[in-house]
Amino acid sequence: MQEILQYLFSGLTNGAIYAVIALGFSILFNATELINFAHGEFVMLGALCLVTLWSGLHLPLPLALLLSAAAVGGVGFLFQRLAIHPVRKPDHIVLVIITVGASIFFRGLGMLLWGKDAFAVPSFTRKASVEVAGAVLTSQSLVIIGTVGVLALVLHFFFRRTLTGKAMEACAISRRAAWLTGIPAQGMVLLAFVLSAVIGGLGGLIIAPITMCSYDMGTVLGLKGFCAAMLGGLGSLWGAVLGGLLLGVLESLSVGLINSGLKDATAFLLLLMILYVRPSGLLGNRSVQRF
């Protein structure tokens, strides 16, 4: 029992990370119907910026967090302006390949700026960990899980209650129609990019203390986040959160109950099964653009 609880804690921690990354995918998809394969690299950039600003320059933590998130947002802005916006005939697959190129570019840039070695970042809080019925939950795990909850609520509020959010949602439904009603569709796309990058960076910030940060950390995280977003249903906010948590818990339970070598295989197998039953994810309902 104590073990199961520990597996759950571990799964929720990992799952919350996947959820944050999945949220970034979903928001971007919502406004642009685009999957950004460089999203994992935003996570990496966030984490490594924090390394520089907090561990390197010893800025106060809140300031370092804010600046890092802003920096990644800036990168997202430039990325949209310089690489996505200029494409003349925006075919989905072309944009996807551009993001693949961008992910290689960002990884190379990360390697040049921060070197090839990994970095460790201390925990945000003093308190080391709490114990629940014999199972340990680190304080950073609580920070991560808390962040996901808050983030999801804020985004929910943003899309349901604010004009900008609704405008963005309108762009997602039909960019042309939204544009006709006077919504600056281009601006919304840009905003979605920046928002998604900031959320990716945020993912990097909160996981920095529990893992090691290096230029090549983004690929696997991006991949897992993508899976989580698909599992939950692309474009669905709560789907992303659910998908992430589910993927994390599935992974950690398959370590505990089956075999750690087959961890990813088990998770992917279940994911496929779910997709076969629900071809647009758990909470997704819109049919998705084809290539």
Partner 1 sequence: MSGIRRKPGVCGMVMAVILGFLVVSPGDAPAAEVYKVGGIFSITGPASFLGDPEKKSMEMAVEAINARGGVDGRMLEAVIYDSEADPTKAVNAVNKLIHKDGVIAIVGPSNTPPSLAVLTYAERAGIPLISCAAGIGITQPVKPWVFKTAQSDVLAVAAIYQDMQREGLRRIGILTVANAFGESGAQQLKAQAAQHGIEIALAESFGAQDTDMTAQLTKLRSQNPDALVCWGTNPGPAVVAKNARQMNLGMPLYQSHGVASPKFIELAGEAAEGLRLPAGKILVADLLSADDPQKAVLQDYIRSYAARYQQPASGFGGYAFDAVHLLAKALEGSGGDKQKIRQSLEQIRGHVGVSGVFNFSATEHNGLGAEAFVMVKIEKGKWALIP
Partner 2 sequence: MVRPSLHNLVPYAFFVVLVGSAGLWVDNPYYFQILSMIGIHALLALALNLLMGYAGQISLGHAAFYGIGAYASALLSARYGLSPWLALPCAMLAAGLVALVVGYPTLKLSGYYLGMGTLGIGMIVFIVFREWSSVTGGASGFVGIPPLGLGGRALLDVRSYYFLVWAVVLLALCGSQRLIRSRVGRALRSIHDSEAAARAVGIPTSRLKLQVFVLSAVMSAVAGFLYAHMVGFISPDTFSFIVSVKLVTMVVIGGMASIWGALLGAALLTLLPEVLHAFAEFEMVVYGLILMTVMIFLPQGLTRGILDIYALRRRQSERAARPAD
Residues lying near partner 2 in the complex (CB under 8 A) are found at 35, 37, 83, 86-91, 93-94, 97-98, 100-109, 111-112, 219, 223, 226-227, 230, 234, 261-262, 264-265, 268-269, 271-272, 275-276, 279-281, 287-291
**Residue 256 interacts with which of partner 1, partner 2, none, CB < 5 to 8 Å by class:** partner 1
Closer to partner 1 by Cβ: residue 169 or 264? 264
**Residue 104 interacts with which of partner 2, partner 1, none, CB < 5 to 8 Å by class:** partner 2
Q: Cα separations (Å) of 187 from 34, 175, 183, 200?
A: 16, 11, 9, 20
Interacting residues toward partner 1 by CB under 8 A: 3, 6-7, 9-11, 13-14, 17, 111, 116-120, 122, 128-129, 136, 138, 207, 210-212, 214, 216-217, 219-221, 251-252, 255-256, 260-261, 263-264
Closer to partner 1 by Cβ: residue 137 or 231? 137
Closer to partner 2 by Cβ: residue 93 or 133? 93
Smallest separation, CB 97 to partner 2 (Å): 5
Smallest separation, CB 228 to partner 2 (Å): 10
